[in-house]
């Protein structure tokens, strides 16, 4: 009986020791945060890394705004533009810049995260009689454009063709509604979906007084 009791006690002590060791390892293992690796990589949004952008041999460097990482980021392009830069040249400048905005980004730009929201069938023309001389008319009402597309237009036009020295654009549609001023603020650059909120009415020049 004593020998059996001794064996049972030894087996019990050994089992307790094993359970303690296993349980201790389990508790310590789950109390330490697990490193699942680095966060997913983000797009660079850096124009200099977007290789493969075609250039016009002779032209004028311009800055257009493309969509990248839910914001607007400038991209340098070289285009042919009128040299005079007068009010009469604004429609031609606007058409040239619009052509750049309508094009899908080059492969290198796409890899860097750039894209455009400007519709391929969008067109622009100069002001009508009674419009402010710096106004531009689109074949779609500005408020009907995708918000990111409107922001791209406003900031691209406002950078190359400022209105009253400000980064802004005066845009109207194909209807008879008066063109409206749209500001390209830092907030619009960060949140292009707010472009419509940065607009204010513009009375025709003939009615100002």
Helix (H) or strand (E) holding 29, with range, is helix 2-31
Closest Cα to residue 147, out of 86, 70, 93? 70
3-class DSSP string for 38-59? CCCCCCCCCHHHCCCCCCCCCC
- Count CB neighbours of 104 within 10 A: 11
CA distance 185 to 188: 5
Q: Which residues contact 178 (CB under 8 A, 6 or more apart)?
A: 131, 172, 201, 202, 203, 204
Model confidence pTM above 0.75: no
CA distance 48 to 53: 10
β-pairing verdict for 168-172 and 124-125 = unpaired
Two structure tokens written together for 56: 């016009």
CA distance 171 to 185: 16
Domain ranges for the chain, please list them: 47-207
Two structure tokens written together for 150: 């409107």
Task: Yes or no: say if 35 and 29 are a contact pair by the CB < 8 Å rule.
Answer: no
Q: Alpha-carbon torsion 41, 151, 168, 90, what sign?
A: positive
- Tens digits of pLDDT across the chain (209 residues): 544 445 555 455 555 454 444 444 443 333 333 333 333 346 789 865 444 455 444 688 999 999 999 999 999 999 887 665 566 788 999 999 999 999 999 888 999 999 999 999 999 999 999 999 999 999 999 999 999 999 999 999 999 999 999 999 999 999 999 999 999 999 999 999 999 887 877 554 444 43
């Amino acid at each position: 009986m004593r020998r059996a009791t001794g064996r049972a006690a030894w087996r019990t002590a050994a089992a307790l020791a094993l359970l303690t060791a296993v349980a201790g390892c389990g508790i310590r293992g789950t109390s330490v945060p697990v490193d699942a690796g680095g966060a997913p990589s983000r797009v660079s949004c850096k124009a200099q890394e977007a290789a493969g952008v075609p250039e016009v041999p002779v032209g004028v460097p311009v800055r257009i705004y493309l969509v990248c990482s839910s914001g607007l980021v400038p991209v340098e392009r070289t285009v042919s533009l009128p040299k005079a830069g007068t009010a009469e040249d604004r429609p031609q400048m606007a058409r040239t810049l619009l052509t750049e905005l309508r094009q899908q980004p080059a492969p290198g730009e796409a890899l860097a995260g750039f894209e455009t929201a400007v519709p391929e069938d969008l067109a622009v023309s100069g002001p009508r009689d009674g419009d402010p001389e710096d106004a531009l008319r689109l074949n779609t009402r500005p408020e009907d454009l995708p918000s990111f597309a409107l922001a791209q237009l406003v900031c691209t036009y406002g950078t190359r063709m400022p209105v009253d020295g400000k980064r802004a654009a005066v845009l109207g549609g194909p209807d008879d509604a008066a063109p409206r001023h749209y500001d390209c603020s830092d907030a619009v650059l960060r949140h292009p979906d707010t472009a419509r909120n940065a607009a204010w009415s513009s009375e025709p020049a003939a009615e100002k007084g």
